Amino acid sequence: MISAIEIALLRGDTKLDASHFADAFFAQEACSINQNVFLAPRWSSIDLIA
Protein backbone atom coordinates (compact mmCIF):
# COMPACT_ATOMS: atom_id res chain seq x y z
CA MET A 1 0.00 0.00 0.00
CA ILE A 2 2.72 2.47 0.97
CA SER A 3 4.72 1.67 -2.16
CA ALA A 4 1.68 2.24 -4.35
CA ILE A 5 1.05 5.59 -2.66
CA GLU A 6 4.69 6.56 -3.14
CA ILE A 7 4.53 5.69 -6.84
CA ALA A 8 1.37 7.78 -7.25
CA LEU A 9 2.95 10.73 -5.49
CA LEU A 10 6.12 10.51 -7.59
CA ARG A 11 4.01 10.53 -10.75
CA GLY A 12 2.01 13.50 -9.52
CA ASP A 13 -1.22 11.50 -9.51
CA THR A 14 -4.02 12.50 -7.17
CA LYS A 15 -5.81 9.13 -7.04
CA LEU A 16 -4.60 5.58 -6.61
CA ASP A 17 -5.45 3.05 -9.29
CA ALA A 18 -4.54 -0.53 -10.15
CA SER A 19 -1.43 0.51 -12.10
CA HIS A 20 0.17 1.93 -8.95
CA PHE A 21 -0.34 -1.38 -7.16
CA ALA A 22 0.85 -3.37 -10.17
CA ASP A 23 4.04 -1.32 -10.38
CA ALA A 24 4.62 -1.59 -6.64
CA PHE A 25 4.15 -5.38 -6.79
CA PHE A 26 6.55 -5.60 -9.73
CA ALA A 27 9.16 -3.54 -7.87
CA GLN A 28 8.88 -5.88 -4.89
CA GLU A 29 8.70 -9.20 -6.73
CA ALA A 30 10.34 -8.51 -10.15
CA CYS A 31 7.80 -10.84 -11.73
CA SER A 32 6.43 -11.13 -15.24
CA ILE A 33 3.08 -9.61 -16.14
CA ASN A 34 1.34 -12.99 -15.98
CA GLN A 35 2.65 -13.46 -12.42
CA ASN A 36 1.62 -10.00 -11.23
CA VAL A 37 -1.61 -10.37 -9.23
CA PHE A 38 -2.71 -6.89 -10.30
CA LEU A 39 -2.32 -7.58 -14.04
CA ALA A 40 -2.87 -11.29 -14.60
CA PRO A 41 -6.28 -12.24 -15.98
CA ARG A 42 -6.34 -15.36 -13.79
CA TRP A 43 -4.73 -13.88 -10.69
CA SER A 44 -6.33 -16.47 -8.39
CA SER A 45 -4.33 -19.28 -10.02
CA ILE A 46 -0.92 -17.66 -9.38
CA ASP A 47 1.30 -19.60 -6.97
CA LEU A 48 2.66 -16.85 -4.74
CA ILE A 49 4.92 -19.19 -2.77
CA ALA A 50 7.14 -20.13 -5.73
* Domain-located, residue 31: yes
Which segments in the chain show pLDDT lower than 50? none
* Domain-located, residue 50: no
Query: According to the model, what pLDDT value does residue 46 have?
Result: 82
Query: According to the model, what pLDDT value does residue 12 have?
Result: 98
Query: According to the model, what pLDDT value does residue 50 have?
Result: 57
Report how many domains make up the chain: 1
Structural domain for 19, as ranges: 2-45
Query: According to the model, what pLDDT value does residue 22 have?
Result: 94
What is the model's pTM?
0.79
Query: According to the model, what pLDDT value does residue 4 have?
Result: 97
Which helix or strand (DSSP H or E) is residue 7 part of? helix 2-11
